[in-house]
Structure 1
Amino acid sequence: MNITEYTPFHAPETLYALNEELIAAEDLRGSNMLMAFTGFSDAGHVVTQISGELKEQLAGEPVAVFDIDQLIDYRSRRPRITFTEDHLSDYRAPSLVLYRMVDALGTPFLYLCGSEPDLQWERFSLAVLGLVELFDINLVAWVHSVPMPVPHTRPIGATVHGNRPDLIEGISAWKATMEIPAAVGHVLEYKLAAAGRNVVGYAIHVPHYLSDAEYPPAAVAGLEYLGAAASLMLPSERLREAGRAVERQITEQVEGSSEVATVVASLEKQYDEHTEGSARRSLLAGDNDELPGADELGAAVEAYLASRDSGPQGEDGTDIG
C-alpha cells in the first residue's frame, strides 16, 4: 500500500452532522461553494467582516455542522467570554458550519465558515471533499487576507491562485515563488485541484499599517472577488458605507502626522512604479528588487500605531486605523 494513500482510522463523516432535508435539495446540486476561515492571517479583519455580513444579511440554513471539539485546541486558542460586573456572559464558542444561503438574486450557494481547525486537517479535508462530491459543487472559491506594503490610497489588490485560468489571469499584482506556512484553505485548495474540482482562492492585500484594525474596503474587495467568481450578488453596501467613514478618518490621521504621510507617499511611489514597470517586480520589492528595510517599514508602522492610540474611534469604541 502506498503510504501516502492511506485510509484514516476514523471516517471523515464522523466529523459533522448533516441536515438530511437539505441534502435532498435539488437546488444545491451543481451550485458553488464559498469558504472563509478565521484563525490564520486575517489582516484588516477581512474574513471576520465578510462572514459577519453574509450571516447577518443572508438567511443561512446549516447543512453540515462540524464537531468543533474534535478540531479545536481550546488551550492554545482560547474562546472569548465577557465578564459583566458580577457575572459571565456572551461566551463566544468556536464553530465551523456549512450553510445554505441565497444571494440577492435568489441563487442558492453553500458557505463554509468558522474557526480554522487546529487538529485533524487530513480528516477535515476529506470531509470537505466528500461534501463537494455529494453536492457536485461547480466551483469552490475562498478568501483570506494578508498585510502588504501597499498604500490605502490605491485600489485594493489581491493574489489569486487556483486552477481556473479565466478567474486568475490579469488579476494578481504580486507574483512570487516561495514556501509559506499553509492555512487549511490552502490545503483544501490543493486537494480540490488534485481531485479535479474547480477551485480559486483570493488573498486580499491589506495595507500593513492597517492590518490590526477592521478595514472595510478590503472586505468589500473580498466580497466582490467571491461574487464575481461564483456569479453571486453578495451584500456589501453596509461595508462600503463603513469603509467611507474609515477612509475619512485615516485621511485625517495621515494629514496630522508627517511621519505617516511620508511613508504613505513612499508606498504610493513604489506602488505606481511597480504598476508601470516590469511584471517581474514584486510589490514587496523596492529599488534593485530588494525588500523594503525593516527599519523603514517598522518606524512607519510604529508611528502610525502611536497616532492611532490617541486617534478617533468607531461607533463600537474600537480604534480606527
Structure 2
Amino acid sequence: MREPEGLYELTPHAEDVPTGIPLVAGLTGFADAGSAVQQLAEYLAETVDLVPIAVFDDDELLDYRARRPIIEFEEDHLTSFTPASLVLSLGRDEIGKPFLLLTGYEPDFQWNRFTAAVIGLLDRFGVTSTTWVQSVPMPVPHTRPMQVTVGGTRRDLIDSMSAWRPTTRVPSNVLHLLEYRLAEQERQVAEFVLLVPHYLSDTELPAAVSKGLEVVSAATGLLFPIDALRDRSRDFFARVDEQVAGNEELGALVKALEDRHDAYMAGNPLRSPLVDGEGEVPSADELAAELEKFLAIRRSHDDDA
C-alpha cells in the first residue's frame, strides 16, 4: 500500500496545532437524514474560525461522476467551478478551547489508506479523543426530544445517552472503519447516530444540528453558539405542527409514533447530563454564569474555612 501521507497536504498552519485536543468529524455521502451532517459543517464554518490544517487529494479519493462538481454558467460562459473538499481544520469553541474538525465528502476510494492517514494525523497532533456524528431516518415523532444511538469505546457516553441499542448489520460509513481501527488500538472514540423523524428526513432539520452540537459538547466539553439554532428549530416545528393539525392522517401517524416512543422511553429514561428540563443545551453564556456561581460559592466556602 502506498504511504498514507500521500493522500493529503499539510498547510503552514499545521505548525500551530496544540497537542492534546479532540477531533470532531462528520462526512457527507451516506444517509444524512435531516441534512444533519451537512448543516453541522456549514454551521460551524459560519460560527467558528476554522483554519485548514490538512487538505485531502480529491483526485485520489473522489468519484467525480458519482458526485459531480458544480459549474456556474452565465449566459454564454462559465463563471466558476466549485470542487468538493475534504479538509482537516483547526478551530476554537466559544471559550477559546481548540479542536480539530474533519469535514467534507466521504471518500469513494482507498478507505484503508484514508483511515491510516487520519490515524497518522491523530498521532502527529496528539489527539485525545475522536467524536463523529451521523444521522439516520427513524419512525420517531418530532414532538419529542431527538434521541441518539451511541457507539465506540466511551462507556460513560453509551450508558448515559444511548437510547436505542440495536444488534444489526448496516452499510458502513468510512468513519465506521476509522472507529473500528481506533477501538482496536483502545483509543477514545465515540459515534453518535442522530435518530431523525423519518417523515422529516428529506428536509433541512435545524433540531438535528442543535442535537449534533449537544452530543459533541457532551463528548468533548466544547461549547458552541446554539441560540440561533433553537429559534430556527422552534419556528420549523411550529410550521410542521400547523401541517399536522390540518391533516387527520398525518396527525394519526404522529400520535401513533408518540405512543410508541413514550412506551419505549418509559423503560429507558435517558437524558444527557447537559440538557435542561426542556431537552435543550444551555448556551455558553448560561454555562459561564453557572460556572461563576459555582466558583463564587467555592470561594465563599474557602474563606469561611
CA pair 89-157 structure 1, distance change in 2 beyond 3 A? farther
Q: 1:169 aligns with which of 148, 159, 178?
A: 159
Pair 221,278 (structure 1): closer, same or farther in 2 beyond 3 Å: closer
Matches within 5 A, 1:1-321: 8=1, 10-23=2-15, 25=16, 28-89=18-79, 91-277=81-267
Count of residue pairs brought into register by the alignment: 269
Mapped to 1, the partners of 2:207 and 2:268 lie a distance apart of 27
Q: TM-score, normalised by structure 1?
A: 0.80
Rate the CA distance shift 1:84–1:21 in 2: closer, same or farther, 3 A.
Answer: closer
Q: Could you say if the C-alpha distance between residues 228 and 170 of structure 1 is closer, same or farther in structure 2, counting changes exceeding 3 Å?
A: closer
1:244 counterpart letter in structure 2: R
- 5+ residue gaps, structure 1: 1-7, 280-321
Matched-pair contact (CA < 8 Å) for 2:7–2:114: yes
Report what 1:284 is aligned to. Answer: none
Q: What residue ranges of structure 2 are gaps of 5+ in the alignment?
A: 270-305
Aligned residue number for residue 281 of structure 2: none
Moved more, 95-104 or 236-245: 236-245
Deviation at 1:235, TM superposition (A): 2.5
TM-aligned CA distance change 1:74 to 1:29, over 3 Å: same
Q: Which 4+ runs in 1 deviate beyond 6 A? A: none
Does the 8 Å contact 1:32/1:140 carry over to 2? Answer: yes
Structure-2 change in CA distance of 1:264 and 1:81 (3 Å): farther
Would the aligned equivalents of 1:34 and 1:141 in 2 still touch at CA under 8 Å? Answer: yes
Work out the CA distance in 1 between the residues paired with 2:50 and 2:188.
24
Give secondary structure in 2 for the equivalent of 1:41. coil
Superposition RMSD in Å = 1.6
Distance 1:259 1:91, change over 3 A: farther
Identity fraction in percent? 45
Q: How many angstroms apart in 1 are the aligned matches of 2:149 and 2:71?
A: 35
Q: Look up the equivalent residue of 2:224 and give its one-letter code.
A: L
How far 1:103 sits from its partner (Å)?
0.6
* Contact 2:14–2:54 (CA under 8 A) maintained in structure 1: no
For each residue in 1:87-123, what CA deviation from the matched residue of structure 2 results, as whole angstroms up to 9, or x when unmatched?
A: 4455431100000001110111100000000000011
